[in-house]
Amino acid sequence: MEAQQLGFVHRFVPGPDSNGPTLLLLHGTGGNEHDLLGLGKMLLPDAALLSPRGKVLEHGMPRFFRRLAEGVFDEKDLLARTTELAEFVRKAIEAYKLNGNAIVAVGFSNGANIAASMFLLEPDVLRAGVLLRAMVPLQPPELPDLHGKAVFISAGRTDPMIPAPNADRLATMLREAGADVTLAWSPGGHNLTEEDVDVARRWLTQRPEIRASN
C-alpha cells in the first residue's frame, strides 16, 4: 500500500501475522519509500514493512533531517524531525493495527542516523534496530533507559564518511544506556555488501524477543 496519510509519504506492506514484527525502513540520502523494501524482505521475510520518505530535500534529494555539512547535523532540525517521525510510527501502529512492541528500525546512512536519534530521544517507539553505516547523531542531555532494546550496528573500516571511532562511540553510548548492542565491522566503505546483509539477517533471526513481543 502506498499512502500520503499519517504525515509522511510511505509504503506499507502487511506481514502474514498482524502480531508479528514490523520493519521501519529508513532510506539514505537521495532514497525514497521504495528503496529498502527489497532489503526488508531479505532481512526478515515474514515481517510487515513500513517505509516512509524523508521530508527534507538536499539539492532535491530526500533526507530525514538537515545537515550543515558532511557529518555536521542541524541539531534543532534533527530534534524536530525525530519527534515527527516517532509520531508517524505511533499513528501507523494505530492505522495498520501493528504490534507496537515489535517495531524494528532498519536504516541506512541518514536513515540509520535518525533511527539512532529515535533510540536516544523517543526510546518507547522501537524495540530493536539494524543501523547500517550509522554515526552518533547527537548527545542527549541524559541517556534514556534502553534496557530490553537490541541494536545491531554495521560499520565499515574504510568508510570515508564515518570515522571508525564515531561508530565505536555510538555503540558505547547505546550500551551505556542499557541496550544490547552488537557492533559488526566490514572491511569495506560506506556502501553495503552482501556480507553486511547476511550478518544483519542472521542477527535478526537470532532475536527471539522480537517475535515474542506482545
Buried b (16+ CB within 10 A) or exposed e, 175-195: eebebbbbbeebebebebeee
C-beta atoms surrounding 52 within 10 Å: 26
pTM of the complete model: 0.94
- Which of 51, 154, 159, 196 is catalytic? The answer is 159
Question: Mean pLDDT score of the chain, rounded to an integer?
Answer: 93
Q: Is 133 among the domain residues? A: yes
Run of H or E residues at 118:
helix 110-121
Q: Is 153 among the domain residues? A: yes
Number of domains in the chain: 1
Q: Is 90 among the domain residues? A: yes
- pLDDT for 211 equals 65
* pLDDT greater than 80 at residue 64: yes
Q: Is 127 among the domain residues? A: yes
Q: Is 116 among the domain residues? A: yes
- Which of 74, 77, 168, 190 is catalytic? The answer is 190
Here the CATH number for the domain that contains residue 15 is 3.40.50.1820
How far is it, in rounded angstroms, from Cα 36 to Cα 162? 21
- Which of 51, 109, 154, 186 is catalytic? The answer is 109
Give the C-alpha distances (Å, rounded to integers) separating 104 from 51, 79, 197.
12, 20, 15
124 assigned to active site = no
213 assigned to active site = no
How far is it, in rounded angstroms, from Cα 163 to Cα 136? 11
Q: What is the pLDDT of residues 27-46, one digit of tens each?
A: 999 999 999 999 999 999 99
Q: Is 25 among the domain residues? A: yes
18 assigned to active site = no
User: Which phi and psi angles does 95 have, rounded to 5°?
Assistant: -65, -40
6, amino acid identity: L
Q: What is the pLDDT of residues 131-163, one digit of tens each?
A: 999 999 999 989 999 999 999 999 999 999 999
Q: What is the mean pLDDT of residues 81-99?
A: 97
Q: Is 214 among the domain residues? A: no
* Residue 102, C-alpha cell as written in the block: 515489535
85, amino acid identity: L
How far is it, in rounded angstroms, from Cα 127 to Cα 102? 6
* Residue 121, C-alpha cell as written in the block: 530521544
8 Å CB contact between 22 and 103: yes
In which domain, by residue range, is 50 found? 2-209
